[in-house]
């Protein structure tokens, strides 16, 4: 899932990160999901790295950007760790999520319990005359009832999200983006696009955007901690040719 239409000569099509972010609301789940999606894309994270992110592993820099410390990854089994740059936009989203959730330590992305309250209509206190003959007298049930508007409360947990939960978040926000008219796909094409989304989609999308912006396979593989350049090329095979040395040279002299 690529960022949007602004990157590279080959525009992104279908579901984009921008559309999903726009579909995240300002409630706690929306702020969490926006921060999660944004960080997953910026850092090209595997889902294991994303759910392992902690408050302590994200460091704010003087210019508003951030550094994410990845303690261990698929290509770093010795646990030497690595640092990944995080955009100022993502850092702002993380700050909004931490502010509303009051999370100060531990897992950065936690589960949220949503409790919905039904509307209650006001009612005067009942009298004996209101009761049916031979009805049991229950003073508590006869008491007046105050009106109560519907509402939603959120309980922020302490346990980190699971990879399965992340997959559901990606698909749910994609469906919300479609419902809001933020994507052009419709019908079966939309259903297939959402079904194809996975926890790997953000990482693959960044890989494709890097190729689209003119990056070579070597730096792309290094930046995203791919096991090899061939792995990176597999995900960006349609975009990589436009970024190689021949394309760069010929693009200047054979317009």
pLDDT, tens only, 43-67:
999 999 999 999 999 999 999 999 9
Q: Could you tell me the residue range of the domain that residue 231 belongs to?
A: 17-109+161-253
Q: At 103, is the secondary structure helix, strand, or coil?
A: coil
pLDDT at 149: 65
Indicate the pLDDT class of residue 75, thresholds 50, 70 and 90: low
| Number of domains, the chain | 2
What's the Rg (C-alpha) of the chain?
Answer: 25
Asked whether residue 2 is domain-assigned, the answer is no
Q: Are 74 and 118 contained in the same domain?
A: no
Indicate the pLDDT class of residue 198, thresholds 50, 70 and 90: very high
Indicate the pLDDT class of residue 9, thresholds 50, 70 and 90: low
Residue 180 is part of a domain; what is its CATH number?
1.10.443.10
Dihedral of CA 29/192/197/168: which sign? Answer: positive
Q: What is the pTM assigned to this prediction?
A: 0.79
Tens of pLDDT, residues 144-166:
777 776 678 899 999 999 999 99
Q: Are 156 and 182 contained in the same domain?
A: no
Q: In the predicted model, what is the mean pLDDT of residues 241-252?
A: 43
Q: Are 126 and 154 contained in the same domain?
A: yes
- Judged by average pLDDT, the poorest of 10-24, 75-89, 121-135 is 121-135
- Say if residues 16 and 41 touch (Cβ distance below 8 Å): no
Highest-pLDDT range among 42-51, 76-85, 135-144:
42-51
pLDDT at 224: 80
Q: Are 63 and 170 contained in the same domain?
A: yes
What are all long-range contacts of 232-239, with beta carbons under 8 Å and residues at least 24 apart? 232/207, 235/204, 235/207, 235/208, 236/207, 236/208, 236/210, 236/211, 236/212, 238/10, 239/8, 239/10, 239/208, 239/211, 239/212
Indicate the pLDDT class of residue 254, thresholds 50, 70 and 90: very low
Give the pairing type, strands 58-60 and 82-86: unpaired
Taking alpha carbons only, the member of 126, 208, 105, 114 closest to residue 154 is: 114
């Amino acid at each position: 899932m690529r960022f949007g239409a602004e990157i590279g000569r080959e525009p992104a099509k279908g579901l984009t990160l921008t559309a999903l972010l726009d579909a995240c609301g300002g409630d706690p789940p929306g702020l969490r999901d926006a921060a999660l999606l944004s960080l997953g894309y910026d850092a090209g994270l595997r889902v294991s790295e994303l759910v392992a992110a902690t408050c302590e592993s994200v460091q704010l820099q003087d210019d508003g950007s951030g550094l994410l410390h990845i303690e261990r990854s698929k290509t770093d089994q010795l646990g030497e760790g690595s640092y990944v740059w995080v955009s100022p936009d993502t850092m702002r989203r993380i700050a909004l999520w931490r502010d509303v959730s009051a999370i100060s330590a531990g897992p950065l992305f936690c589960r949220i319990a949503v409790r919905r309250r039904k509307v209650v209509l006001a009612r005067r206190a009942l009298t004996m005359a209101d009761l049916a003959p031979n009805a049991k007298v229950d003073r508590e049930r006869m008491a007046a009832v105050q009106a109560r508007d519907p509402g939603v409360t959120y309980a922020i947990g302490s346990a980190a999200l699971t990879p399965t939960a992340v997959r559901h978040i990606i698909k749910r926000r994609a469906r919300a983006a479609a419902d809001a008219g933020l994507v052009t796909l419709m019908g079966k094409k939309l259903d297939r696009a959402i079904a194809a989304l996975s926890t790997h989609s953000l990482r693959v999308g960044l890989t494709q955007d890097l190729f689209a912006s003119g990056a070579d396979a070597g730096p792309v593989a290094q930046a995203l901690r791919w096991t090899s350049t061939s792995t990176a090329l597999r995900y960006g095979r349609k975009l990589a040719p436009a970024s190689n040395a021949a394309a760069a040279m010929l693009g200047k002299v054979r317009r």
